[in-house]
């Protein structure tokens, strides 16, 4: 890498980091005012009371809790993971608590007109840190990836660590109860990946997730996501509009399932439209741990044929 390229990438990072920091501060302040104006339902009690439980007529005031003054376990909200579906949830981790979500392994296969790509990702993880009652910070890492491309005279392999990402999730309403919940997730991707696993440019975007309780015990999640990515020619940035909808339902006690549709619309990136249909199972172990398994199936011509995975989420 030349000195000039290093300066350009540093400048890109500084600009996006500054924008992200300002955006997060504005969102957090707005979200607190919005949430305090509404009425939140009592949280589910997890352990013996460490603080007075809230009654239905007087919901608990949890706004004084922070990363350094944790929410008592008796006031923590129901366990809710952002995985395994693509759709993010608008719910945040309680202040002063942590939630780790990761795949044991993810395997991707694609056969694009005779050119086959097999990808393996080991322990991709998301560490969620509760900072305020309605704000969390997420640190996402890909410790090891291996991508093999072969066929039609082509053979290449890239392996090593992948890019990292930093996100801030702000809940606007419904964090502790209600028929709907909404929020915002600005994020920044840092090009830490090795050659072949990263485009070596800072990228970012913003996600607007929404959760809705449906009749007959069904839950709906949806999001609109704007990704600002490096274009295929690597001479500028374009945008990808990601739209998702997922529907979940309990099967038996502690076991639930979901089906999901994901569409990715490129704008000035040189890519093509991608569409996926996904499904999976989640099993809740106690009140603070969940395991999952699932498959994402590409239904558009250039989407990967399938991705299979298994993972776990737990909080403390």
CB 278 within 8 A of CB 254: no
Asked if the model's pLDDT at residue 48 lies above 80, the reply is: no
Going along the chain from its start, the domains and CATH numbers come out as 3-43+64-315 (2.40.160.40)
Half-sphere exposure at residue 312, Cβ-oriented, CA atoms within 13 angstroms? 8
Residue 130 φ then ψ, to 5°? -75, 115
What is the reported pLDDT for 154? 85
pLDDT band at 59 (very low <50, low <70, confident <90, very high): low
Asked if the model's pLDDT at residue 42 lies above 90, the reply is: no
What is d(CA 289, CA 246) in angstroms, rounded to the nearest whole number?
A: 21
Asked if the model's pLDDT at residue 58 lies above 60, the reply is: no
Residue scoring higher pLDDT (232 or 298): 298
Asked if the model's pLDDT at residue 245 lies above 60, the reply is: yes
The DSSP result for 149-206, as a single string, is EEETTEEEEEEE---EEEEEEEEEE-TTSSSEEEEEEEEEEE--PPBTTB-SS-EEEE
What is d(CA 200, CA 271) in angstroms, rounded to the nearest whole number?
A: 18
CB 113 within 8 A of CB 128: no
Q: What is the pLDDT of residues 106-163, one digit of tens each?
A: 999 999 988 999 999 999 999 999 999 999 999 999 999 999 999 988 899 999 999 9
pTM of the complete model: 0.83
Average pLDDT score over the chain? 87
What is the reported pLDDT for 44? 34
């Amino acid at each position: 890498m030349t000195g000039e390229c290093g300066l350009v990438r540093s400048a890109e990072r500084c600009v996006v980091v500054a924008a992200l920091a300002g955006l997060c501060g504005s969102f957090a302040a707005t979200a607190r005012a919005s949430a305090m104006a509404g009425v939140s339902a009592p949280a589910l009690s997890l352990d013996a009371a460490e603080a007075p439980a809230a009654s239905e007529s007087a919901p608990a005031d949890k706004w004084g809790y922070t990363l350094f003054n944790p929410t008592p376990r008796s006031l923590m909200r129901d366990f809710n993971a952002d995985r395994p579906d693509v759709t993010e949830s608008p719910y945040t981790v309680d202040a002063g608590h942590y939630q780790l979500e990761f795949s044991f392994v993810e395997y991707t296969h694609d056969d694009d007109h005779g050119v086959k790509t097999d990808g393996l990702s080991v322990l991709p993880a998301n560490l969620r840190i509760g900072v305020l009652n309605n704000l969390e910070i997420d640190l996402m890492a890909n410790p090891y990836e291996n991508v093999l491309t072969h066929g039609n005279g082509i053979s290449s392999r890239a392996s090593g660590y992948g890019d990292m990402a930093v996100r801030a999730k702000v809940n606007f309403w419904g964090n502790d109860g209600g028929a709907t919940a909404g929020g915002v997730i600005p994020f920044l991707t840092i090009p830490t990946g090795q050659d072949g696993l990263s485009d070596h440019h800072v990228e970012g975007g913003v996600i607007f997730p929404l959760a809705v309780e449906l009749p007959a015990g069904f839950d709906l999640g949806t999001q609109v996501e704007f990704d600002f990515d490096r274009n295929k020619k690597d001479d500028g940035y374009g945008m990808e509009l990601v739209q998702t909808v997922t529907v979940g339902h309990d099967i038996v006690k502690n076991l639930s399932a979901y089906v999901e549709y994901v569409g990715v619309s490129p704008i000035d990136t040189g890519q093509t439209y991608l569409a996926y249909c996904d499904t999976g199972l989640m099993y809740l172990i106690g009140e603070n741990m969940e395991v999952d398994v699932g498959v994402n199936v590409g239904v558009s011509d250039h989407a990967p044929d399938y991705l299979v995975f298994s993972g776990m989420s737990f909080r403390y």
